[in-house]
Amino acid sequence: MPSVTHEVDQVLEVDLSQLSEEDRNAVIECHKKPDAYKSDDSFPGEMTCRIDDCIVEESSESPGSFTLKRTLYFDFTWDDEDEMSEWEEDNATTDDATLPSYVAGDYEGIFIGDDMHDYETDYRGVTA
């Protein structure tokens, strides 16, 4: 079964000082356990997401301000090369660094209260 893995680095600097301890812990937990899913049903394969190097750093100079960093790995697998070739014609190739943005959902940002905050995302591309 053909497969490819893509690496994505994310960083978000955010002030959580106005949140209750429970809400702050919920934000940190969401950061540590993203709920990425395959959002493009036309993708002719499967996708899984795993996390590595998850860091939560509170600023010593500004209590309540946090830097959230993480590295995500998206594993894509497929059975049918012809179906994948057809999908690539209309979307992105499997070696396109931004492939996760075409296939995956719910990893590019995090809700803090009612507001969505987007991570700075660096698509590193295919990993060995």
7-39 burial, b for 16+ CB within 10 Å, e for fewer? bbebebebebeebeeeebeebbeebeebebebe
In the prediction, which pLDDT does 47 show? 97
C-alpha 42/C-alpha 57 separation (Å) is: 38
The amino acid at 79: D
* Weakly modelled stretches of the chain, pLDDT under 50: none
Q: How many domains does the chain have?
A: 1
Q: Cβ contacts of residue 84 below 8 Å, gap of 6+?
A: 2, 44, 45, 78, 94
Q: What would the pLDDT profile of 44-62 be if each residue is shown by its tens digit? A: 999 999 998 899 999 999 9
Q: Which residues contact 115 (CB under 8 A, 6 or more apart)?
A: none
- C-alpha span between 123 and 97 (Å, rounded): 6
Dist. CA 39–CA 117, nearest whole Å: 19
pTM, 2 dp = 0.93
Can you give the residue range of the structural domain that contains 39? 3-126
Q: Which residue has the tokens 């860091």?
A: 55
